[in-house]
Amino acid sequence: MLSVNQYDLLLTVGIIAALAVVAALLRIVLRGRAVTLPYERIERLCTPAERSFLGVLEQIFASEYRIFGKLRLADIICPCKGLSRSERSSAFNRIVGKPVDFAVCDLSTLEIIGVVELDDSSHGGSVRQRRDEFLDAALSAADVSVVHFRAQKAYVLAEVRQRVLQAFRLSDSSGGTQAA
């Protein structure tokens, strides 16, 4: 049988242990909520012009190719093998933050066929022109075809199809002349 002093001591230790467990559990539960990360949602993946042009590409190629939008250049090409760690890191850093508008891929294998860039008015500036020149040169070095289109209100599907097929060196299995 426990004496009163032993009972009080045991009760005190038990209460302290229970409080410690509750405090630890609260920290675990609240940890995720206490940290506020500095991000907010972007409403749309594509600009209205990009969404419109994606619709054109999908109309033209949906049965033959899969179109992906808003990829990083680093999702399409990578630094060559055989580079030093420093060279590889430098080459990767030059492509990792550069987006491309659309990648056209084989429908079943998802092999990259080529890149389509939609050039809006922002492509007229010297910084954007240098970015486009680098993008074109990097894709060419990696043997990936690229074709640029000026953003416009409407497109002639047959013309878009022909330019893409020609740029990607593909044969035309079907055609269309309607406008979108």
Same domain assignment for residues 52 and 29: no
Has residue 175 been placed in a domain?
Answer: no
Same domain assignment for residues 123 and 150: yes
- What is the pLDDT, as a whole number, of residue 32? 58
Same domain assignment for residues 22 and 107: no
Q: What are the beta bridge partners of residue 147?
A: 116
Has residue 158 been placed in a domain?
Answer: yes
Residue with tokens 């995720």: 32
Task: State pTM to two decimals.
Answer: 0.74
Asked whether residue 178 carries a pLDDT value surpassing 50, the answer given is no
pLDDT tens by residue, 104-154: 999 999 999 999 999 987 766 788 899 999 999 999 999 999 999 999 999
Same domain assignment for residues 73 and 157: yes
Average pLDDT along the chain: 88
In order of 1, 14, 17, 110, 178, the CA distances from 8 in angstroms are: 13, 10, 14, 71, 90
Cite the DSSP H helix spans in 69-125. 85-96
CA distance linking residue 86 with residue 62, whole number of Å: 41
At residue 14 the predicted structure's pLDDT band, cuts being 50, 70 and 90, is confident
Name every residue whose Cβ is closer than 8 Å to that of residue 112 and which is 6 or more positions away in sequence. Answer: 76, 103, 104, 105, 144
Which structural domain range is residue 109 located in? 48-167
- What is the pLDDT, as a whole number, of residue 34? 53
CA distance linking residue 180 with residue 64, whole number of Å: 19
Has residue 172 been placed in a domain?
Answer: no
Has residue 177 been placed in a domain?
Answer: no
Q: Provide the number of structural domains found in the chain.
A: 2
At residue 11 the predicted structure's pLDDT band, cuts being 50, 70 and 90, is confident
At residue 74 the predicted structure's pLDDT band, cuts being 50, 70 and 90, is very high
Asked whether residue 179 carries a pLDDT value surpassing 50, the answer given is no
Q: 140, 163 in Cβ contact below 8 A?
A: no
Burial status of residue 59 (CB atoms within 10 A of its CB: 0-12, 13-18, 19 or more):
middle
CA atoms in the 13 A half-sphere facing the CB of 148 = 10
Asked whether residue 26 carries a pLDDT value surpassing 90, the answer given is no
Has residue 160 been placed in a domain?
Answer: yes
What single-letter amino acid sits at 54?
Answer: L
Q: CA quadruple 123, 126, 127, 133: dihedral positive or negative?
A: positive
Has residue 23 been placed in a domain?
Answer: yes
Same domain assignment for residues 35 and 54: no
Same domain assignment for residues 77 and 151: yes
Same domain assignment for residues 59 and 147: yes
Lowest mean pLDDT of 10-14, 45-49, 98-102, name the range.
10-14
Asked whether residue 63 carries a pLDDT value surpassing 50, the answer given is yes
Q: 65, 113 in Cβ contact below 8 A?
A: yes
- What is the pLDDT, as a whole number, of residue 123? 64
CA 42 centroid distance within chain: 13
Same domain assignment for residues 18 and 76: no
Residue with tokens 């009760």: 11
Same domain assignment for residues 1 and 66: no
Residue with tokens 């594509």: 46
Asked whether residue 52 carries a pLDDT value surpassing 60, the answer given is yes
Same domain assignment for residues 60 and 104: yes
| Mean local confidence (pLDDT), 60-86 | 96
Has residue 13 been placed in a domain?
Answer: yes
At residue 18 the predicted structure's pLDDT band, cuts being 50, 70 and 90, is confident
Has residue 173 been placed in a domain?
Answer: no
Same domain assignment for residues 32 and 52: no
